[in-house]
Amino acid sequence: MDKQLDFVAIGDCTVDEFIKLKDAEVHCAINSDECTISMSWGDKIPYDTSILVPGVGNAANAAVAAARLGLPSGFVSNVGKDRYGEEILEAYKREGVDATHVRVNDGIATNHHYVLWYNAERTILIRHEAYPYAIPEGFVPPKWIYLSSAGESSEQFHLDLAKWLEAHPETKLAFQPGTFQMEMGKEKLAELYKVTTLVACNKEEAERILGLGETDMGELLEKMRALGPKIALITDGPKGAYLSDGETRLKVPMYPDPKPPVDRTGAGDATTSTVVVALALGKSLKEALLWGPINSMSVVQAVGAQAGLLTREVLERYLSDAPEAYEAVPF
């Protein structure tokens, strides 16, 4: 990464091991999306298949999405000096993602998550290793940084990155907060939000970040922007995606599924990263918002967060063939 790239993702990566369950029950509350999955306790539970997917994670998925769409992209992350770390680096090489600044750590394992997969939904058992997070030496400021999920040992790194971005205004930041970044709280990350160009999350995450209960989407967008970002992008599952830059406020529906979803892992990552890639390619806010759900639709048709990511040619074909109702409109 000795030359400027258009898009560099920063965050943890992992191998996801999908375990497809066949003997389980899902229970949902009345008039609620809150569900639990149950299995027999103290028993042997048969499963259908197990699939290992290397090199995934919020930021990793974004780097691959950018590369598939034709944007020169790189990745700043950590792996262990082990078999899984080697598989991850090979995966980035195949995808054309510059992995110069993926640090290989001796004595620290590669992150390994377990995905309990039942029908099209999943619950993920996660564990982030305590990696040494730092802005790499010789890091050339890219046009865009896409920052997402990192582990608990990354708190100081976020503060350092905020100062680095203040010193490098030529680099725009897209921030998709992960679990620990939300736990850090908006107060600790105040300086980072101030130098953010675009913040992206789903509706429940926005309410959590802001410390709010059920809140109107328009209010959520503006309160996320009030933290500092110029643009707020919020997804709301089957209701679609919403975006505001303070002057323009748009919503777009889900792109219709050609067939029932296989696995919803990575759907949100696909939407948000694709919107950012479109902006990096010079697209308008309206065009960028139309791009996002198309990649999300494709991702849920395959197992894992990356297999279904589209090339620019195929994505634009879906856009040209979109039904009349698929449009970004003011709200």
Residue 236 is encoded by which pair of tokens? 């709301």
Categorize the per-residue pLDDT at 45 as very low, low, confident or very high, splitting at 50, 70 and 90: confident
CA-angle at 192, arms to 66 and 68, nearest 5°: 5
Span 289-299, average pLDDT: 97
Span 60-78, average pLDDT: 98
pLDDT over 70 percentage in the chain: 99
pLDDT in tens, 298-313: 999 998 889 999 999 9
Show me where the domains of the chain are located: 7-14+55-110+129-330
Predicted pLDDT at 317: 98
pLDDT in tens, 127-175: 889 999 999 998 999 999 999 999 999 999 999 999 999 999 999 999 9
The torsion region of residue 271 among left (phi > 0), alpha (psi -120 to 50) and beta comes to: alpha
- Name the residue among 87, 69, 97 with its Cα closest to residue 14: 87
Span 259-288, average pLDDT: 94
C-alpha 268, offset from chain centre: 6
Predicted pLDDT at 1: 60
Write down the pTM of the prediction.
Answer: 0.92
Task: Using DSSP, state whether 259 is helix, strand or coil.
Answer: coil
pLDDT at 25 over 90: no
Categorize the per-residue pLDDT at 264 as very low, low, confident or very high, splitting at 50, 70 and 90: confident
Architecture of the domain spanning 7-14+55-110+129-330: 3-Layer(aba) Sandwich (3.40)
Categorize the per-residue pLDDT at 26 as very low, low, confident or very high, splitting at 50, 70 and 90: confident
Predicted pLDDT at 119: 82
Amino acid at 199: V
pLDDT in tens, 84-108: 999 999 999 999 999 999 999 999 9
CA distances for 262 relative to 2, 36, 121, 266, 267, angstroms = 39, 19, 8, 12, 11
